[in-house]
Homo-oligomer: A and B are copies of this chain.
Amino acid sequence: MNIGEIARRAGVSRSTVSYVLSGKRAVSATTRQRIQAVIDELGYRPNASARALKEGRTRTLGLVIPPASQRLTDMQLGFVASVVEAAARHDLDVLLSPSGGDHDRSFERIVTGRRVDGVVLMEIRLTDDRVTRLATAGVPFVTIGRTADPRAMSWIDVDYATLISRCVHHLADLGHRQVALVNRSAELVAAGYGPSHRALAGFRTAVAERGLTGVDVCCGDDTPSGEACVAQLLAAHPEVTAVATINEAALPGMQRALSAAGLSVPGDFSVTGVAAQHWAEDFHPPLTAADVPMRQMGAEAVSLLLELIAAPGGPPRHRLYAPPVSLRSSTGPVRPR
């Protein structure tokens, strides 16, 4: 079933069928109807590969996600969902590439096989070979997150430094003097994961500004890690009265550890941080936190990418999100233990 078959049945040339499909040339009403009838009858749709070959574009976006082996966080999943959704609104398909390191076969296929018109790259590190790979290959791309020197590229990111800083100031305003930061996993920090490093920087800055005592710990992205991490924190630093976190997946475990230690939130202990709205609202009591607007960010990433594809020489564009800290019920005045 190809365009020639449609043309034959409709008694016209292939180009006329093509022009009926694209609307790029006037076609008389009668022939158009005749052709359309055949198309509808046979359910014809143009072969995507042939069209891509001819047009030089695939109408497909690549989405590079963290390797499937490690569970995606809710926030990552939110990005994936919103990118796919935004792409669908533009009638674009999304090709998934689970690529962590370099020299990844799937990633290489996407980069160099001309399978996609552009790429959205997730889970960026401060130095990231995939970014240079895409840049040298000349593939338009937008990152969710940014490298250490992101001036030359287009990206959107969450301003973790500012957000964690705001959280610390909020805790300081409530009288807390000894606060902790629960970061992401030690592996991510070691790998140069930007949000972790920037959150830590913001934490230290704010702690210094307010003359607080701050302790920071790494924590795996899951419930058991969160529980172990906070249990250990309470044992090693009993003077800590509040915690800020960017590790939403650890929240249930953190809550469990606090409960096991007999600490009520926010009466005995305050919790705040950066999280997907869903996690903040699932916390008990609802978490005072900066809600990351994942859906908006995914849509924005696609939007920037489409601009980049349309105008390959254009200037890089950025968007740094610093959503306000939503006051809910998990932070309160310090009450010394």
CA distance A53 to B58 in the complex (A): 13
Other-chain contact of A96, B96, B222, B282, B284 (Cβ < 8 Å): B96
Structural contact, A71 and B60, CB atoms closer than 8 A: no
Q: Separation in Å of the A171 CB from the closest CB of chain B?
A: 25
Q: Please tell me if A190 contacts chain B, counting CB pairs below 8 Å.
A: no
Other-chain contact of A45, B43, B50, B113 (Cβ < 8 Å): B113
Structural contact, A60 and B95, CB atoms closer than 8 A: yes
Q: Please tell me if A175 contacts chain B, counting CB pairs below 8 Å.
A: no
Number of copies of chain A assembled together: 2
Structural contact, B98 and A96, CB atoms closer than 8 A: no
CA distance A281 to B227 in the complex (A): 13
Structural contact, A94 and B95, CB atoms closer than 8 A: yes
Contacts of A109 in B (CB 8 A): 45, 48, 91, 93
Using C-beta atoms within 8 Å of the partner chain, give the interface range for chain A.
35 or more
Structural contact, A46 and B113, CB atoms closer than 8 A: yes
A74-125 interface with B by 8 A CB criterion: 77, 80-82, 84-85, 88, 91, 93-98, 105-106, 108-110, 112-115
Closest partner residue, chain B, to A56 (CB atom):
B49
Q: Separation in Å of the A225 CB from the closest CB of chain B?
A: 11
